[in-house]
Amino acid sequence: MKEYIKRPHYLNKIAPFIDKNVIKVITGQRRVGKSYFLYQIMDQLKEKNPDVKIIYINKELYEFDHIRDYHDLISYVQIQRSSNSKNYIFIDEIQDIIQFENALRSFQAEDRYDIYCTGSNANLLSGDLATFLSGRYIELKLLSLSYPEFLKFHKLENTQDNLFAYIKYGGLPYLIHLSLEDSIVYDYLRNVSSTILLKDVVSRHQVRNVSFLENLVKFLADNIGSLLSAKRISDFLKSQKINISPNIVLNYLNYLVSAYFIFKIQRSEISSGKIFEIGEKYYFEDLGLRHVIISYQQRDINKVLENLVLSHLIVSGYDVTVGKVGSKEIDFIGKKNGGKLYVQVAYLIPDENTWEREFGNLLEIKDNFPKIVVSMDEMIGKQYKGINHYNIREFLNEYQ
């Protein structure tokens, strides 16, 4: 049995689908803990039935290198399976098996398998898989550790110093095996970043202009939370004597999103709900990986806090957009279970002008859905004209 720390937030999400005839597809960036999440599910099954038949394949291990396409996968499962009981198939990094969707369709048609697979690319659920298996699979996306998980994994208290450790180093689970020191952590994160970019972007999409990709990633790291478009990025790069068309910029952005390296957050008009087709914001799925691209500086704290709040909203199950009300902007609109949440993020609110800006934008919204301001102020009033004010640690640790 592998040693691990359980992630009950995700176990609770997948629990209703265990032993159901739907394929469980677990997606997420490399090194966020998908493999260990599979171990947790397998161990739960073994606790209920020690004789359960589990077929496990991990495409990152050499012993499974012979499984190259769906024919190989079907043959392997047929050899390993039990003929007189239900079989549980676990496939880690399934996107490395050519036309894997044909095998999944075949397994599901037999109705003798419970299937779980992981992948590190959003395109896993596009094209044939979505067409062939429409309505017969569920996706569960794993993210790097949330702030409460970070505290739990590292056995830390919820203090300002530990919040800054989370801000600096991010939430990749493997960090529990390292000393939280810049030279050690960033060496590890640098390797993870390189692996994601080379395997899930350059190799998968046959990217030729690696130098441009690196410049694009640096630009995004320096412009977290800024309103961007492919044309604006292209124009900036031209000013740096890098001549790349907006279409190529758009393709590379999509590659980074599909590798779960960055979040793409679109804008919406609050009154109509209309999504704007041009101009979006980009954030990093893990802040530690952002900081190996551009070193963390205190001057970045505003955009870093925005990134933290966004990640927490997504982990909490919200569909998030950037809001626009008249000429004013709302940092985030979160939608979940038919409800909405409006969020403004600020570093500190030291004076009346800042107070009026952050709370005033939310007061422009006339509906009755919850509206909150999140900042690093320690001494805060709980409410202003119906708008709640949260300290960032309180928000990350308690708000769902």
Per-residue pLDDT of the chain (400 residues), as tens digits, is 678 999 999 999 999 999 998 999 999 999 999 999 999 999 999 999 999 999 999 999 999 999 999 999 999 999 999 998 999 999 999 989 999 988 998 998 888 999 999 998 887 766 556 666 767 889 999 999 999 999 999 999 999 999 999 999 999 999 999 999 999 999 999 999 999 999 999 999 999 999 999 999 999 999 999 999 999 998 888 888 888 899 999 999 999 999 999 999 999 998 888 888 778 999 999 999 999 999 999 999 999 999 999 999 999 999 999 998 888 899 999 999 999 999 999 999 888 788 888 888 999 998 999 999 999 998 776 777 889 999 999 999 988 7
Domain end residue (candidates: 93, 112, 141): 141
114 and 163 housed in the same domain: no
How does 210-237 read in b/e, with b if 16+ C-beta sit within 10 Å?
A: eebbebbbebbbebbbeebbbebbbeeb
- CATH number of the CATH domain containing 49: 3.40.50.300
236 and 374 housed in the same domain: yes
Kindly state the DSSP code that residue 259 receives in the 8-state scheme: T
Domain end residue (candidates: 113, 141, 169): 141
Q: What is the pLDDT of residues 89-112, one digit of tens each?
A: 999 999 899 999 889 989 988 889
User: Has residue 283 been placed in a domain?
Assistant: yes
**What integer pLDDT is reported at residue 127 of this predicted model?**
59
42 and 187 housed in the same domain: no
Give the separation between CA 40 and CA 73, rounded to whole angstroms. Answer: 23
256 and 294 housed in the same domain: yes
- pTM beyond 0.85: the answer is yes
Domain end residue (candidates: 141, 157, 179): 141
193 and 129 housed in the same domain: no
User: Has residue 85 been placed in a domain?
Assistant: yes
237 and 285 housed in the same domain: yes
User: Has residue 336 been placed in a domain?
Assistant: yes
230 and 118 housed in the same domain: no
122 and 153 housed in the same domain: no
User: Has residue 317 been placed in a domain?
Assistant: yes
User: Has residue 3 been placed in a domain?
Assistant: no
User: Has residue 240 been placed in a domain?
Assistant: yes
64 and 198 housed in the same domain: no
**What integer pLDDT is reported at residue 349 of this predicted model?**
87
**What integer pLDDT is reported at residue 184 of this predicted model?**
98
**What integer pLDDT is reported at residue 344 of this predicted model?**
96
106 and 233 housed in the same domain: no
User: Has residue 90 been placed in a domain?
Assistant: yes
Q: Burial-class residue 31 by CB neighbours within 10 Å (0-12, 13-18, 19+).
A: buried
**Boundaries of domain holding 95:** 8-141
**Residue position matching structure tokens 């790291």:** 221
User: Has residue 2 been placed in a domain?
Assistant: no
Q: Where are the alpha helices (DSSP H) in 23-116?
A: 34-48, 70-80, 100-110
**What integer pLDDT is reported at residue 132 of this predicted model?**
64
356 and 319 housed in the same domain: yes
Give the separation between CA 231 and CA 237, rounded to whole angstroms. Answer: 10
**What integer pLDDT is reported at residue 381 of this predicted model?**
66
The strand pairing partners of 55, in sequence order, are: 89
Give the separation between CA 41 and CA 112, rounded to whole angstroms. Answer: 18
Q: How many domains does the chain have?
A: 2
296 and 363 housed in the same domain: yes
* Strand pairing category for 319-325 and 328-336: antiparallel
Q: What is the pLDDT of residues 233-265, one digit of tens each?
A: 988 888 888 888 999 999 999 999 999 999 999
